[in-house]
Amino acid sequence: MGMIVEAYKIEIKGLVQGVGFRPFIYKLAKRHSIRGNVENNNEGVLVQAEGNRNHLQQFIKAMKAEAPVASKIAAINIKVEPITGFENFSILPSHS
């Protein structure tokens, strides 16, 4: 029985910039075997995440449970996306 691999686009809105949120997401992704990337955007933080469905669900739970103290998540929007085939997880530079 193979693992079900899914791809999610996760938008995290709220006070999530300038509080160490991208490195936090990077560490979580590594811990949960998630591939993809994280970046800041106009709305907050955008995560492209691919991995085993169970790992993705644990990854999202951990985001809420372990968010940096200085951050405040207002909303997390999740959209299922086509699989891109990321090979690792990376932090993308901020757009300024």
Chain segment 24-81, per-residue pLDDT in tens? 999 999 999 999 999 999 999 999 999 999 999 999 999 999 999 999 999 999 999 9
Give the pLDDT of residue 1: 45
Determine contact, residues 73/45, Cβ cutoff 8 Å: no
The model's confidence at residue 4, banded by pLDDT at 50, 70 and 90, is confident
CA distance 88 to 48: 11
Classify 5-88 by CATH class: alpha beta
CA distance 32 to 1: 20
40 is catalytic: yes
Give the pLDDT of residue 76: 97
CA 16, 21, 36, 55: dihedral to nearest 10 degrees?
-100
**Catalytic: which of 31, 35, 40, 52?**
40
Determine contact, residues 58/32, Cβ cutoff 8 Å: yes
Q: Where are the domains of the chain?
A: 5-88
The stretch 6-10 carries a mean pLDDT of: 98
22 is catalytic: yes
CA distance 73 to 40: 14
- pTM of the prediction? 0.93
**Catalytic: which of 22, 35, 52, 53?**
22
